[in-house]
Structure 1
Amino acid sequence: MKKLALMAGAAALLAGQAVASEGFYAGAQYSKNTVKEKDDGFNISMDLGVLGVLAGYQFHENFALEGRFGTGVKDKKWREDGYSETFSAGNSYGLYAKGIVPLSQEFSLYGLAGYAHTKYKWKESGQGGSERGSFNSKGLSYGVGGEFAFTPQLSVTLEYVHLPTKKLRDDGWEFKLRSSNVALGVNYRF
C-alpha cells in the first residue's frame, strides 16, 4: 500500500510538471543593456539598467510566443572637457518567438528571435548651453538563454539578447551603435 501511494504521488508530481509546461506565464527581468559605439579610432561602451516585464504563452514544450516591455532605470553619466553628458534607455518593447529545448524536468535552454524597439535618450550640458535628443533603435533581435524551474510554477532565467544596430549621422560623422542585453529574470506559470 505504501509503495502504491508513493508511486501515485510521484506520478502526480511528474504529471503536474508536464501540464505546467504549456499555458500562460508572466515575469520580470533586470537587464544590463550594453551599448557600444565604434567608429574610426573611437570606441565607447555604456552599461545601462533596464527593468522589464514579460508575458507569454507556451503552445508546446518546444515553442512559445512572448511579449516584453521595459524602461530604463540606470543611466550612464560622465564629464569630459567641461561638459556633462548623460545617456539613457527609455521605453523598450519586443515580440519574440521562443524555441525551447528541455534538458530535464527543471532545466531548459531556449533561443529567441523577433522584433525589438528601444528608445535611447541623451543630454549634454556645459559652458553656457545644453542639448538633448533621442533616437529609436528597432528591428531584428535574437538571443539565447536558460531557465531553471524551482517548482512547476516558479522559474529563473538568464539570457543574452542581441538588440538591433542603429546607424547615426551627426555633423558629417557616421557611426553605429550596437546594443545587447544580459538579463536575469523570474517567471510564473499560471
Structure 2
Amino acid sequence: MRKIYISLLATLMMSSYAVAGKPVEASAQIADVTYLDPIPGSTEEVDSDDNGGFYLGASYSTLGIDIEGLDYIYLNDYGDSSSVMGQAGYKFNPYISIEGRYWSGENSFDAWGLYAKPSIPLGDLFSMYGIIGYGNAGIDMSEVDGEGHYNILDESTLQWGLGLSVSFSENFALFADYVEIYNDQLDIVDWSLDTINIGATVTF
C-alpha cells in the first residue's frame, strides 16, 4: 500500500513539474517577442524643407491718384499712370516673409516701403498674402503752366496690401497684388495713392 502511495505521489509531482514547465517556456517566448528590436527603416521621416530663402522680384504697376480739394485739382487730369516696381525680401517659411519695395514712374512719382508679409498657402500652387509696413510716397510735378518743378507730395505713412501668388517651381512664381501707398489729408487736400502690381519673383 505504501509503495502504491509513493508511486502516485511521484507521478503527481512529475505531472506538476511538466505542467509548471510550460508557462515558464511560454513566458520566455513572450519575453523574446516583447523585446524584439524594431525593424530598420520602418518609421517615416518628416520632410522639414520650408522652401525659404532670399528672393528678388519686379513688376509692372499702375498708379491710381485720387485727389479731393481745391489745390492741385489739375492732377486729376493725369488719371492712372504707369510705373515699375522692384522688390527684395527674405522668406523664413511658407507663412512669413519680410520685404522691401521701390516704385518709380511717370509724373516723377516714386515710393518705397518696408513690410512684414504673412502668407496662407492654398495648396501646392497658390498662396494668398498680405503686406503691412511703413513707407514714403513722393510726386515732383510741373506746374500747370510748365514753369518749374516742385514737390507736391513727400509723405511717409503706414502702407498695406493684399495679393495672390502662383508658384511654378520652388524658385519661380508670378504674383498680382494691390498696395495702398498713401491715404491721408495734406493741407486741405485729401490724397489717395494706390498701385496694382503684376510681376514675378525668383527665390535663391
Establish whether TM, by shorter chain, passes 0.5. Answer: yes
**1:46-125 map, 5 Å:** 46-72=79-105, 74-75=106-107, 88-89=108-109, 91-125=110-144
1:30·1:185 contact (CA, 8 Å) conserved in 2?
Answer: yes
Alignment partner of 1:130 out of 128, 147, 157: 147
Alignment partner of 2:62 out of 6, 20, 32: 32
Q: Rg larger in 1 or in 2?
A: 2
Taking structure 2 as the reference length, what is the TM-score of the superposition? 0.68
**Equivalent residue letter for 1:185:** G
Write 1 or 2 for the structure with the bigger share of strand: 1
Distance 1:60 1:180, change over 3 A: same
Aligned to 2:159: 141
Deviation at 1:167, TM superposition (A): 2.9
Deviation at 1:23, TM superposition (A): 1.1
Gaps of 5+ in 2: 1-46
Gaps of 5+ in 1: 1-14, 76-87
Distance 1:20 1:184, change over 3 A: farther
1:125·1:131 contact (CA, 8 Å) conserved in 2?
Answer: no
Deviations for 1:101-134, whole angstroms, at most 9, x for unmatched residues? 00011100001100121211111253xx724211
| Distance in 2 (alpha carbons) for counterparts of 1:21 and 1:159 | 22
Deviations for 1:149-172, whole angstroms, at most 9, x for unmatched residues? 111111100001111224333xxx
1:159·1:182 contact (CA, 8 Å) conserved in 2?
Answer: yes
2:120·2:129 contact (CA, 8 Å) conserved in 1?
Answer: yes
Deviations for 1:70-123, whole angstroms, at most 9, x for unmatched residues? 211x34xxxxxxxxxxxx41x321100001000011100001100121211111
1:137·1:165 contact (CA, 8 Å) conserved in 2?
Answer: no
Deviation at 1:20, TM superposition (A): 6.3
| Distance in 2 (alpha carbons) for counterparts of 1:137 and 1:178 | 12
| Aligned-pair identity (%) | 27
Distance 1:131 1:168, change over 3 A: farther
1:116·1:141 contact (CA, 8 Å) conserved in 2?
Answer: yes
**1:179-190 map, 5 Å:** 179-190=193-204
